[in-house]
């Protein structure tokens, strides 16, 4: 039982937007807590964020610091917006440091359409998107998989989808890790996960998962050069952004291994953790390796899911605008993963080391020149997509050199400030839908309750979060995107 | 099998920013577990009373501790929702504890597949987490606390 929040530790400023604790807030901490935030965001953070980040700092093998991104908020085990780099030789892997929705992530697609061209057909467009991209409770995917197909999905991710005609070969290079985590082993996945995920390829899900049509207004451009490099070069350009993950498949993988680790930790591994949601296994143990291999399968399921949904979006645009989809553009800007653990090379205290970087509700943000970036983005830095609340806006950013302090990680969203129950007490879903439509945002929601829970006032300011990532040297702002239609589960 | 002490009741605790924390209480352990299942269903559909008993499923679980038994039981309900599309509630449930701390649960579940024409969607629970997970006696009988990822 994690217990109530402990007093906030004293945090000393390291540089603008970066704060660090002494590292002695609780017994057993191997590293300090490092928070990346403006003073305002730091002040607004839940006290539990600091308690949870200090708990994470006790995990065996953690290196450098237990990091909190500017959108960090109270989660289970790790804070959401928590990053921990762990030495795989003597450290652990923790499902709670990744989250149940493995590789829930964001994909941004640009069109060659402008808002004046889309506005007259927006209602038709959003109705078609809502009808053809399944979302919400009980939804079944539009891709039917035989067992052999599912095995290929788990091993190949978005590559499988493109190979089956769902998308363009060029999409893969514009997806984190080429749309496929190496090391996936379907044998490490339970039959229950297979059964749970088999009919869900091509579904958005519910909660904070959504699909938005957005517009780049002229005043939304922060870095014109990078915006051009990312293909955003039209006045009032229309883009599509969506957020979804590995669906029930990933949730089951996480549940299976969490339960297994909880049973085995004390007796088999001799591990004790402060919060059982930090249940973990040595990376070098059979159980740890199996979880990593299963997690990679779930990550690949998520890449394939976003890939087939992109294909469906292209079809819908082609139908609604009665044009060849290629002439509409609909090229990918990028696809970023949240909720993963990845083996990456990082420099720590002047030494190059391989580390297993857990990012829970955080985005990888590689700097210019990083060898893993596709040639198109080698000079700009990795595109980063931060989804704001559905009422406000979202950001496109780019990775920067100074991101080394967070193991090249940045924020993933606005970050909630209010519980779902409180949000529902403040507004009814139907009233919110009317209000959003009055402000020019069309809404198609499978659940009015889910809509109310995602109201803009339940989140931090996305502008403040995006600015804080720049202040703290995690990423730089490229463009702000304004929603005009939202489809959610 | 019985679920002695009725169904108990489950309430949402307003103490987690992102996810949903619940507390189920009942006069017996069985009633608290039954109420926990009802709480889970109420996060899935707004009108759980509209879920008809058209299909049944039997669940048997064994665990070393009561709180892990609750975790497994709730995750079984989440699994059946995704794998078979079923919305389920407890028809009967019995829990057995042996002297050495081992526990076992047998339940008969009743329900039906989600039907958008009759069931008002609320949301999809992804999983029950181990965060704050606890099953303990309380003045009313038994209390189960759990947090779900939504």
Note whether B14 contacts A421, CB cutoff 8 Å.
yes
Q: Which residues of A touch B19 (CB under 8 A)?
A: 75-76
- pLDDT attached to residue B3: 44
Query: Closest partner residue to A2 among B113, B132, B150, by Cβ?
Result: B132
- pLDDT attached to residue A1: 42
Best mutation target among B17, B21, B128, B150 (most A Cβ atoms within 10 Å) is B17
Note whether B126 contacts A251, CB cutoff 8 Å.
yes
The sign of the torsion formed by the CA atoms of A376, A213, A74, A69 equals positive
B13 vs A3, A141, A178, A454, B124, CA distance in Å? 15, 33, 41, 18, 18
Note whether A259 contacts B72, CB cutoff 8 Å.
yes
User: Do the Cβ atoms of B35 and B58 come closer than 8 Å?
Assistant: no
| Residues 6+ positions from A172 with CB-CB distance below 8 Å | A158, A159, A162, A178, A179
Q: Tell which residue, A96, A275, A263, has the closest CA to residue B133.
A: A275
Query: Closest partner residue to B121 among A136, A196, A254, by Cβ?
Result: A136
Query: Closest partner residue to B17 among A99, A138, A419, by Cβ?
Result: A419
- pLDDT attached to residue B99: 82
* B7 three-class SS: coil
- pLDDT attached to residue A5: 67
- pLDDT attached to residue A312: 97
pLDDT higher than threshold 60 for residue B15:
yes
User: Do the Cβ atoms of A214 and A394 come closer than 8 Å?
Assistant: yes
Note whether B124 contacts A136, CB cutoff 8 Å.
yes
- Average pLDDT over every residue of B9-35: 90
Q: Please give, rounded to a whole number of angstroms, the shortest distance from the CA of B24 to a CA of chain A.
A: 17
Q: Please give, rounded to a whole number of angstroms, the shortest distance from the CA of B48 to a CA of chain A.
A: 13
Domain borders along chain B are 9-149
**Is A412 considered catalytic here?**
yes
Note whether A251 contacts B78, CB cutoff 8 Å.
yes
Note whether A449 contacts B46, CB cutoff 8 Å.
yes
Strands (E), A349-440: 351-360, 363-364, 383-386, 394-399, 409-410
Tell me the pLDDT tens digit for each residue of B36-62.
Answer: 999 999 999 999 999 999 999 999 999
Reported as a pLDDT band with limits 50, 70 and 90, residue B4 is: very low
Under CATH, domain B9-149 is a member of which superfamily? Archease domain (3.55.10.10)
* A156 three-class SS: helix
Please give the Cα distance from B116 to A250 (Å, whole number): 25
Q: Which residues of A touch B122 (CB under 8 A)?
A: 137, 447, 449-450
ipTM: 0.90
Residue A259 main-chain phi, psi, to 5 deg: -60, -45
Give the residue from chain A lying closest to B46, CA to CA.
Answer: A449
Q: Tell which residue, A174, A481, A137, A117, has the closest CA to residue A310.
A: A174
Note whether A99 contacts B71, CB cutoff 8 Å.
no
- pLDDT attached to residue A273: 81
Q: Tell which residue, B134, B147, B101, B150, has the closest CA to residue B25.
A: B134
- pLDDT attached to residue A272: 84
User: Do the Cβ atoms of A28 and A278 come closer than 8 Å?
Assistant: no
Angle, alpha carbons B116-B118-B119 (nearest 5°): 65
User: Do the Cβ atoms of A344 and A354 come closer than 8 Å?
Assistant: yes
Query: Closest partner residue to B64 among A248, A263, A276, by Cβ?
Result: A263
Note whether B127 contacts A100, CB cutoff 8 Å.
yes
Q: Which residues pair with A399 in a beta bridge?
A: A475
Q: Is A10 left (phi over 0), alpha (psi -120 to 50) or beta?
A: beta
Query: Closest partner residue to A76 among B82, B113, B129, by Cβ?
Result: B129
Q: Please give, rounded to a whole number of angstroms, the shortest distance from the CA of A233 to a CA of chain B.
A: 36
- Alpha helices, DSSP H, located in A218-265: 224-229, 247-264
Please give the Cα distance from A395 to A216 (Å, whole number): 10
- pLDDT attached to residue A376: 95
Best mutation target among A77, A78, A420 (most B Cβ atoms within 10 Å) is A420
Please give the Cα distance from A193 to A202 (Å, whole number): 16
Q: Tell which residue, A401, A410, A407, has the closest CA to residue A348.
A: A407
Note whether B45 contacts A446, CB cutoff 8 Å.
no
* Residue A247 burial (CB count, 10 A): 30
- pLDDT attached to residue B2: 38
Please give the Cα distance from A462 to A148 (Å, whole number): 42
Q: Which residues of B touch A1 (CB under 8 A)?
A: 132-134
* A245 three-class SS: coil
Looking at residue B139, what DSSP letter applies? T
Best mutation target among B124, B136, B144, B148 (most A Cβ atoms within 10 Å) is B124
Q: Which of A243, A338, A370, A412 is an active site residue?
A: A412
Residue B90 main-chain phi, psi, to 5 deg: -80, 125
Name the one residue in this structure whose structure tokens are 């517009």.
Answer: A215
How do the pLDDT tens digits run along chain A, 489 residues long? 455 667 788 899 999 999 999 999 999 999 999 999 999 999 999 899 999 999 999 999 999 999 999 999 988 889 999 999 999 999 999 999 999 999 999 999 999 999 999 999 999 999 999 999 999 888 889 998 888 899 999 999 999 999 999 999 999 999 999 999 999 999 999 999 999 988 999 999 988 899 999 999 999 999 999 999 999 999 999 999 999 999 999 999 999 999 999 988 888 988 888 888 899 999 999 999 999 999 999 999 999 999 999 999 999 999 999 999 889 999 999 999 999 999 999 999 899 999 999 999 999 999 999 999 999 999 999 999 999 988 899 999 999 999 999 999 999 998 888 888 889 999 999 999 999 999 999 999 988 989 999 999 999 899 999 999 999 999 999 999 999 999 988
* Residue B116 burial (CB count, 10 A): 12
């Amino acid at each position: 039982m994690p217990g109530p929040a402990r007093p906030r530790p004293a945090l000393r400023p390291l540089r603008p937007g970066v704060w660090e604790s002494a590292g002695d807030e609780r017994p057993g901490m191997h590293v300090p807590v490092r928070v990346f935030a403006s003073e305002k965001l730091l002040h607004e953070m839940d006290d539990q964020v600091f308690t949870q980040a200090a708990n994470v700092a006790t995990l065996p093998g953690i290196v450098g610091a237990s990091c909190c991104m500017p959108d960090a908020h109270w989660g289970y085990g790790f804070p959401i917006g928590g990053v921990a780099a762990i030495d795989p030789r003597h450290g652990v892997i923790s499902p709670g440091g990744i989250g149940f929705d493995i590789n829930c992530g964001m994909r941004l697609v640009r069109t060659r359409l402008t808002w004046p061209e889309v506005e007259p057909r927006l209602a038709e467009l959003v109705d078609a998107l809502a009808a053809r991209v399944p979302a919400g409770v009980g939804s079944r995917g539009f891709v039917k998989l035989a067992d052999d197909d599912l095995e290929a999905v788990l091993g190949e991710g978005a590559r499988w989808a493109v190979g089956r005609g769902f998308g363009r070969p060029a999409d893969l290079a514009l997806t984190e890790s080429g749309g496929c985590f190496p090391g996936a082993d379907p044998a490490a996945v339970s039959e229950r996960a297979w059964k749970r995920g088999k009919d869900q390829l091509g579904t958005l899900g519910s909660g904070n998962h959504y699909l938005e049509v957005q517009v780049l207004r002229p005043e939304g451009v922060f870095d014109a050069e990078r915006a051009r490099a990312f293909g955003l070069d039209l006045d009032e350009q229309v883009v599509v952004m969506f957020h979804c993950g590995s669906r029930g498949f990933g949730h089951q993988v996480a549940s299976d291994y969490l339960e297994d680790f909880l049973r085995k930790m004390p007796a088999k591994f001799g591990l004790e953790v402060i919060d059982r949601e930090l249940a973990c296994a040595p990376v070098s143990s059979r159980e740890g390796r199996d979880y990593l291999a299963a997690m990679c399968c779930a990550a690949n399921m998520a890449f394939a899911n976003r890939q087939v949904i992109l294909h469906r979006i292209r079809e819908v645009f082609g139908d609604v605008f009665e044009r060849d989809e290629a002439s509409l553009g609909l090229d990918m800007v990028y696809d970023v993963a949240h909720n993963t653990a990845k083996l990456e090379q990082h420099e720590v205290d002047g030494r190059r080391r391989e580390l297993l970087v857990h990012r829970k509700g955080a985005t990888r943000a590689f700097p210019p020149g990083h060898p893993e970036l596709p040639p198109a983005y080698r000079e700009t830095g990795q595109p980063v997509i931060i989804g704001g609340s559905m009422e406000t806006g979202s950001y496109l950013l780019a990775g920067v050199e100074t991101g080394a302090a967070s193991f090249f990680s940045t924020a993933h969203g606005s970050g909630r400030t209010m519980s779902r129950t409180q949000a529902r007490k403040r507004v009814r879903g139907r009233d919110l839908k009317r209000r959003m439509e009055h402000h020019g945002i069309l809404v198609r929601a499978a659940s009015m309750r889910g809509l109310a829970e995602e109201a803009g006032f339940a989140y931090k300011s996305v502008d403040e979060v995006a600015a804080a990532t720049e202040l703290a040297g995690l990423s730089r702002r490229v463009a702000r995107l304004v929603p005009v239609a939202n489809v959610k589960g | 099998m019985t679920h002695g002490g009725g169904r108990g009741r489950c309430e949402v605790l307003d103490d987690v920013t992102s996810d949903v924390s619940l507390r189920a209480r009942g006069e017996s352990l069985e009633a608290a577990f039954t109420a926990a299942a009802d709480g889970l269903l109420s996060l899935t559909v707004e009108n759980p009373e509209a879920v008809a008993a058209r299909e049944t499923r039997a669940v048997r679980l064994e665990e070393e501790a009561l709180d892990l038994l609750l975790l497994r039981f709730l995750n079984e309900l989440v699994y059946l929702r995704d794998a078979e599309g079923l919305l389920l509630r407890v028809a009967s449930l019995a829990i057995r504890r042996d002297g050495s701390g081992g526990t076992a649960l047998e339940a008969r579940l009743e329900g039906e597949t989600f039907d958008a024409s009759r069931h008002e969607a609320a949301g999809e629970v992804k999983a029950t987490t181990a965060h704050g997970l606890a099953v303990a006696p309380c003045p009313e009988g038994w209390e189960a606390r759990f947090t779900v990822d939504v």
